[in-house]
Structure 1
Amino acid sequence: MTIRKVKAGYRLVSKKGKNLGTYKTKDGAKQREREVQYFKKAKAK
């Protein structure tokens, strides 16, 4: 996943290019990235 700077703030983008959300702050985007990673691992169990 990548955090990209856009006009509206920061956007979390998957490896395949899907938009996973736009956030006002970089910290907000990082928080969401951690949540997504957590649920990916929880789903695998």
Structure 2
Amino acid sequence: MSPDLTALNPNASPIAFPKIPKISLNPCPILISESNKEILD
């Protein structure tokens, strides 16, 4: 597997991406905002 494929599929190798929060992988900023509101509440 090439590094490019690994980068496109971080779930395949989560240990290689310890500094990337899972929420950053969310393609919908609106859902992230709503999730943050729920956490703050």
Name the TM tier (shorter chain): 0.3 to 0.5
Which structure: larger Rg? 2
TM-score w.r.t. the length of structure 1 is 0.30
More strand by share: 1
Pick 1 or 2: higher relative contact order, CA cutoff 8 A, min separation 6: 1
TM-score (norm 2): 0.32
